[in-house]
Amino acid sequence: MEFVSIKNLPKAVRLAILKQLGYGSDGQFVTDEQGKRIRDRYVDVEISLSNMLIFPGSTIILDNNYLSVAAYLEEHEDAF
């Protein structure tokens, strides 16, 4: 398995990834199908398009910060 940073991908590619996962964007933040901004499930912040994180094999979109990453890894430790 290879990790690819989506931060370095063009905005159009990040938007296409979101669309394939059933999400969208208002141009700045990740949104749900109704256009409501998605909040990180661990730290309760709105997830910006420029700072989103998706772990391989997951469809959970997180804010790329240490607390979210640590909480996700702890919750899904059997996946790694």
The structural domains of the chain, with segments of one domain joined by +, span 6-79
Q: Is residue 1's pLDDT more than 80? A: no
- Give the N- to C-terminal CA distance of the chain in Å, as an integer: 11
Q: Is residue 50's pLDDT more than 70? A: yes
Supply the pLDDT for residue 28.
96
Q: What is the mean pLDDT of the chain?
A: 90
Give the residue-averaged pLDDT of 42-64: 92
Task: Give this prediction's pTM.
Answer: 0.86
Condensed to tens digits (0 to 9), the pLDDT of residues 29-46 reads: 999 999 999 999 999 999
* Nearest alpha carbon to residue 66 among 45, 80, 49: 45
